[in-house]
Amino acid sequence: MIGRLNHVAIVVPDLAAASGTYRDTLGARVSAPVDLPAHGVTTVFVELPNTKIELLHPLGSDSPIAKFLEKNPSGGIHHICYEVEDILAARDRLKAQGMRVLGDGEPKIGAHDRPVLFLHPKDLFGTLVELEQA
């Protein structure tokens, strides 16, 4: 059911510094920052030949990742994102198998302007998983 790895998301305390490290030190292609008010984050994507790294920074004090950064002041891996062909079919199949979908269970539009859902980390061995419609 899951397809390719779309991205690994890393919360960072300083988006400009993290972007610079990936661009200038590691030689990666790095996007401009994009604010996503509906998700409470600012994102930057690091393009790799086989996937992407999503750098996340809180957008406002009520950002869902602000608490993550409080607990992990240096930042860290936040979630991984897999592509699925049909997000509603994937959601229904996973829910039928006992997986918990976070929020109201309805897809939201993510950073790539595609529908996304998040699965509860307790159901996936401590890892927050995002599903994105391919």
- Residue 96: which CATH number? 3.10.180.10
Residue 77: predicted pLDDT: 97
Residue 69: predicted pLDDT: 94
- Kindly state the tokens that stand for 132: 């994105």
Active site residue 85: no
Along the 134 residues of the chain, how does pLDDT read in single tens digits? 999 999 999 999 999 999 999 999 999 999 999 999 988 999 999 999 999 999 999 998 889 899 999 999 999 999 999 999 999 999 999 999 999 999 999 999 998 899 999 999 999 999 999 999 99
Neighbours of 113 (CB within 10 A): 6
Show the domain range for 36.
5-133
The residue from 54, 83, 130, 132 that is catalytic is 130
- Domain total of the chain: 1
Residue 91: predicted pLDDT: 98
Alpha-carbon distance of 56 to 122, in angstroms, equals: 22
Residue 61: predicted pLDDT: 83
